[in-house]
Structure 1
Amino acid sequence: MMSHAAYVFASYGIATLTVAGLCLWVIADGRARQRELRELEASGVRRRSAEASTGEAR
């Protein structure tokens, strides 16, 4: 039978691994989105927010 301390340490370990995995996933996904934006901008696609910063009105 698992002792109370072992249960608590196992729970904290699982929670830590889960949070670390989520952090790594968010970082990797953010880098992928930035890479996609660079590729789109290199191909001539521009963001609507870029138009607003130049002062162009619709």
Structure 2
Amino acid sequence: MTSLGPYASFIVTSYALVAATVLILIGWIALDYRHQKERLRELETSGVTRRSGRQATEI
């Protein structure tokens, strides 16, 4: 740590906080993705269809 100079603790803490924030965001996105997939599956089983899933001749 001495090679980072007198601000070593600030630098290490900053990088650790950024890494923790990025990991939290990745986890949040993964959980939201699973939730959205489940919600879409529920909608499709209830009969709601996506417009993007139709053929051009059906429009």
Question: In the comparison of the two structures, how many residue pairs are matched?
Answer: 54
TM-score normalized by the length of structure 2: 0.83
Q: Which runs of 5+ in 1 are unaligned?
A: none
C-alpha distance in 2, partners of 1:13/1:19?
Answer: 10
**What is the CA deviation profile of residues 2-54 of structure 1, one whole-angstrom value per residue up to 9, with x for unaligned ones?**
x41111000000000000001001111011000000000000111001113xx
Identity of aligned residues (%): 37
Q: CA RMSD in A?
A: 1.2
- What SS is found at the alignment partner of 1:34? helix
Where in structure 1 do 4 or more consecutive aligned residues deviate above 2 Å?
55-58
TM-score normalized by the length of structure 1: 0.84
Map 1:7-22; keep pairs closer than 5 Å: 7-22=10-25
- What SS is found at the alignment partner of 1:28? helix
